[in-house]
Structure 1
Amino acid sequence: MAERREVLHRVEPIWAPDARVLVLGTMPSPASREAGVPYAHPHNRFWPVLAALFGEKDPKDGPGRRALAQRHHVALWDVVGSCTIEGASDASIRDVVPNDIAAFVEGTDIAHVALTGSTALRLYERDLAERVGLPYRGFPSTSPANARWRLPELVEAYRPVADWATGSSNGQ
């Protein structure tokens, strides 16, 4: 069992001036904190999903992944700025201090928020949705712990993110 400890969010958000959609996770995993890029665990399917949505290959490295998101108008950050957590277990999160998402999106072209996983969605609705004031939607977790969703199913579930990022009305 991993030790429960206070963790501060130290992974820089991925952002570009023309971002149209903000994808929010809960809190970076230990692998993401070490790599300095969101969803860095080798079995997390976020980057393969994002790459598939835009007809690209997963670049597999931090700079390439940042460029992929930026090229397609996708910003990434996390709901939680600090918390007490065991390893990477969202279920163990306590003592949440949220990131200032409202300030992050202010004055940007971001028009939609996508939440990866049920904990991110729950915490966003509890702490941030009203202040941020943008349309939002929850999506299945891309974590390897969510094994019942296969990659093709995740790609289809995340299709609205691509629609929002490209300005298509299909993502409503």
Structure 2
Amino acid sequence: MEKTHMPELVSHQFDPVYDEHSRILILGTMPSVKSREHQFYYMHPQNRFWKVLSSLLEWEFPATTEQKKQMLLCNHIALWDVLASCEIHGSADSSIKSPVVNDFKPLFARTQIQSVYTNGRKADELYRKYSLPATGRAAIYLPSTSPANASFSLDRLLASWQVILEGIW
């Protein structure tokens, strides 16, 4: 008997990473299956997010969740996702239905965030459609660090993501 692939209703289960000194916000779409299992962002071993950030920041690659949080906070980076919940097949952003966005106003009120960046097309699309009208803060699109974005080499990602350094210092 063939297994049907029904979308799963998923709620975001872990907090954003930020402190009062955060100057930029990087937004994904929704945590992947691996990230939900590990209760932290970008935990799929093939996702290049942590490699890109540590390279740009000239920071030793963070192996643990605490090291990842420390790297973010020491460099004034806040990290969250656009969605609070959605229906999704596995980790496929293209399958997202019934999106419910996070409320960014409290985060902006508690931080010094001046620039918002979206990690991938779907995060950018959802932020522009649902969050921009509420926040009034435009986002800068960055190509996805996901392994699904195989057309972007690590070098191309590093070149594209370099723009985040302007907002940190």
TM-score (norm 2): 0.94
Counterpart secondary structure, 2:159: helix
Q: CA RMSD in A?
A: 1.2
SS of equivalent residue, structure 1 residue 128: helix
Change (3 A) 1:62 1:107: closer
Match of 2:20 in 1: 17
Of the structure 1 ranges 46-55 and 103-112, higher mean CA displacement relative to structure 2 is found in: 103-112
Task: Report the CA distance shift for 1:2/1:157 in structure 2 as closer, same or farther (over 3 A).
Answer: farther
Match of 1:113 in 2: 116
Give 3-state SS (helix, strand or coil) of 1:81's partner: strand
- The answer on 1:80 being equivalent to 2:83 is yes
Any stretches of 5+ residues in structure 2 without a counterpart?
A: none
1:76 aligned partner, one-letter code = L
1:92 matches 2:95: yes
Q: Given the two structures, how large is their TM-score scaled by the length of structure 1?
A: 0.92
Deviation at 1:111, TM superposition (A): 0.3
Q: Pick from 48, 52, 57 the counterpart of residue 54 of structure 1.
A: 57
For residue 69 of structure 1, give the secondary structure of its aligned residue in structure 2: helix
Runs of 4+ in 1 over 6 A off after TM superposition: none
Give how far 1:50 is off. 0.5
2:45 to 42, 46, 50: 42
Aligned residues: 166
Partner of 2:164: 161
What is aligned with 2:135? 132
